[in-house]
Structure 1
Amino acid sequence: MRGETGPISELQRLTVSLRGGFEQQNGCLVFHFTGQLDAYSEKQFMEYVVDVLKASKLPAVIDLSKIDFLDSSGLGALVQLAKQCTDAKRAFSLVGNSRVMQTVKLVRLEEFLHLAQDLPSALSNLAA
């Protein structure tokens, strides 16, 4: 890993098809994921995010801009996570690539999931 920069080089394998990691940025916990968020990985995704969130009160950003595939199970996990954050009065935002954004908008969850176009937008929305 020497020579690599950025959070992607630090992602750990959660399942065969999903890697994840987090960093603290601008007073927020920023989670980065790559691969597929689907029926095979949503349980590990939820466990990982919930475990990290337990240790902090910071706002959270879920960055799915490097996710290749999101299915209904993945959407369900995101909804469950959004509900937990709302119940805990924790600010959060979701960032996605065009495929993720299209899927979220198709089921009209963009407001509920606080969908942002990119990471800087998500961070500035949470800072406001």
Structure 2
Amino acid sequence: MNLHIDDYKDGDLYVLKLAGEIDAYTAPQLKEKLLELIKTEGIGVMVDLEKINYMDSTGLGVFISALKTANETNRSFKLINLQENVYRLFNITGLNEVMDIDNTIRGGK
């Protein structure tokens, strides 16, 4: 399955709505778009993962890079609406402790 990325600006915040899977095949596309938006001056980024049903360690790497870039550029970066199986990856790795993740966890399929 592919990754579909919709983005829009809401005030001074960019919102990315993702659908599909984040894996070695789709991660480069996401990373390019995400880092481009984070580097935009005065803009924060919120990523909606509600329709992401699968993510592997490559996806975690994308979000680690995004967090690092956000911290370096003093931008806000937040993940929202994670499916339970996707949130589990952040929890197991401890990334839920260092990333801004909305506490609303969605159930699986």
After TM superposition, the score normalised by the length of structure 1 is: 0.73
How high is the sequence identity, in percent, across the aligned residues? Answer: 24
Deviation sequence 1:90-118 (CA, Å, 0-9, x none):
01111112121111111110132211134
Which residue number corresponds to residue 87 of structure 2?
A: 101
Question: Taking structure 1 as reference, are residues 26 and 116 closer, same or farther at Cα in structure 2, changes over 3 Å only?
Answer: farther
Tell me which residue corresponds to 2:107: none
Equivalent-residue separation in structure 1 for 2:101 and 2:88 (angstroms): 11
TM-score by length of 2: 0.84
Question: For 1:104, what is the secondary structure of its paired residue?
Answer: helix
Larger Rg: 1
Distance 2:101 2:54 in 1: 17
What is the number of equivalent residue pairs in this alignment? 103
Query: 59, 69, 88: which is aligned to 1:74?
Result: 59
Which amino acid letter does the alignment assign opposite residue 86 of structure 1? N
- For the residue of structure 1 that corresponds to 2:96, the secondary structure is coil
Output the CA distance in 1 between the equivalents of 2:11 and 2:85. 26
* Cα distance, 1:66–1:56 mapped onto 2, change above 3 Å: farther
Q: Which has the higher contact order (CA 8 A, sep 6+)?
A: 2
1:113 paired to 2:103 = no
Which of 58, 61, 82 aligns to 2:46? It is 61
Contact 2:38 2:44 in 1 (8 A): no
Q: Displacement, 1:56?
A: 4.3
SS in 1 for 2:71: helix
CA contact (8 A) 1:65 1:100 kept: no
